[in-house]
Chain A
Amino acid sequence: MNAIPYAHLNETLYHEQLPNGLDVYILPKEGFQKTYATFSTKYGSIDNHFQVAGGEAVKVPDGIAHFLEHKMFEEPDGDVFSRFASHGASANAFTSFDRTAYLFSSTEHIATNLITLINFVQNPHFTDENVEKEKGIIGEEIQMYQDNADWRCYFGLIEAMYAAHPVHIDIAGTVESIALITKETLYECYRTFYHPSNMSLFVVGGVDPAAVMQAVRDNQAAKTFRPQGVIERFFPDEPAQVHEALRLTRLPVSLPKCLFGFKERPPAAEGRELLKLELTTKLVLDILFSASSAVYQELYDEQLISDNFGHEYNCNADYAYSMLGGDTPDPERLVASIREKVEALKPGGLEAATFERSRKKKIGGFLRLLNSPESIANEFTKYRFKGIDLFDILAVYESITLDDVNARFREHFDWHQLAVSVVRSPEQA
Chain B
Amino acid sequence: MKHIQFERSTWNRIRLHVLPTDQFKTFAISVYIGRPLSEDTVTATALTPFVLRRGTQLYPETRMFRERLDDLYGAGFGFDIYKRGDYQIVQLRMDIINDRFVSAGESLLKQGLQFVGETLTRPAKEQGVFRSKYVDAEKVTLQKRIEAVINDKIRYAAERCMEEMCRDEPYRLHALGEIKDLADVTPQSLYARYEQWLRTAPIDLYVVGRTTLAEVEAIVQQAFSLERTEESGYAVTAAKPARAETQTIVDRLDVKQGKLNMGLRTPITYGDDRYPVALMYNGVLGGYPHSKLFTNVREKASLAYYASSRYDGHKGIVSIQSGIQIDHYEKAVAIIREQLAALTQGEISETELSQTKAMIANQLREMQDSAFELISFDFNAILSGKTRTVAELIEAVSAVDAAAIADAAGKVQLDTIYFLRDKKGE
Residues of A within 8 A of B (CB): 8-10, 30-34, 79, 81-82, 85-91, 105-108, 133-134, 136-138, 140-141, 143-144, 146-150, 251-255, 257, 290-294, 297, 300-301, 303, 306-307, 327, 357-358, 360-365, 367-368, 370-373, 426
Contact = CB atoms under 8 A, between A and B. Distances in A.
B148 interface: yes
Nearest to A80: B289
A140 B366 contact: no
18 contacts: A10-B101, A85-B290, A85-B355, A85-B358, A89-B362, A106-B366, A107-B365, A134-B302, A146-B256, A149-B152, A254-B151, A293-B63, A294-B63, A358-B70, A360-B70, A363-B73, A368-B97, A426-B254
Contact of A87 (B69, B303, B358): B358
Contact of B359 (A85, A251, A363): A85
Interface size class of B (residues with CB under 8 A): 35 or more
Contact of B368 (A33, A364, A372): A33
A134 B95 CA distance: 42
A361 B73 CA distance: 5
A291 B141 CA distance: 15
Contact of A82 (B2, B147, B355, B370): B355
B356 to A, nearest CB: 8
B254 to A, nearest CB: 5
A421 B354 CA distance: 49
B168 interface: no
Given A357-B67, A368-B76, A137 B288 contact: no
Nearest to A297: B63
Contacts, number: 183
B150 A252 contact: yes
B287 to A, nearest CB: 10
B2 A9 contact: no
Contact of A362 (B74, B144, B152, B371): B74
B316 interface: no
Select the residue from A8, A138, A306 with max chain B CB neighbours within 10 A. Answer: A306
A294 B294 CA distance: 48
B196 interface: no
Contact of B303 (A31, A86, A140): A140
Given A34-B369, A107-B366, A363-B73, A85 B288 contact: yes
B256 A363 contact: no
Interface in B140-185: 140-141, 144-145, 147-154
A33 B394 CA distance: 15
Contacts of B257: 140, 143-144, 146-147
Contacts of B76: 368
B137 interface: yes
Contacts of B371: 371
Contact of B73 (A82, A251, A367): A367
B63 A292 contact: yes
B102 interface: yes
A249 to B, nearest CB: 12
Which A-B residue pairs are the 8 nearest by beta carbons? A364-B73, A361-B74, A136-B302, A292-B66, A88-B358, A88-B362, A85-B355, A364-B74
A137 B25 contact: no
Given A255-B148, A297-B62, A144 B363 contact: no
B305 interface: yes
Contacts of A368: 25-26, 74, 76, 95, 97
B420 to A, nearest CB: 10
Nearest to A113: B362
Contacts of A105: 362, 366
Most B Cβ at <10 Å: residue of A34, A88, A303: A88
B325 interface: yes
Contact of B351 (A10, A82, A138): A82
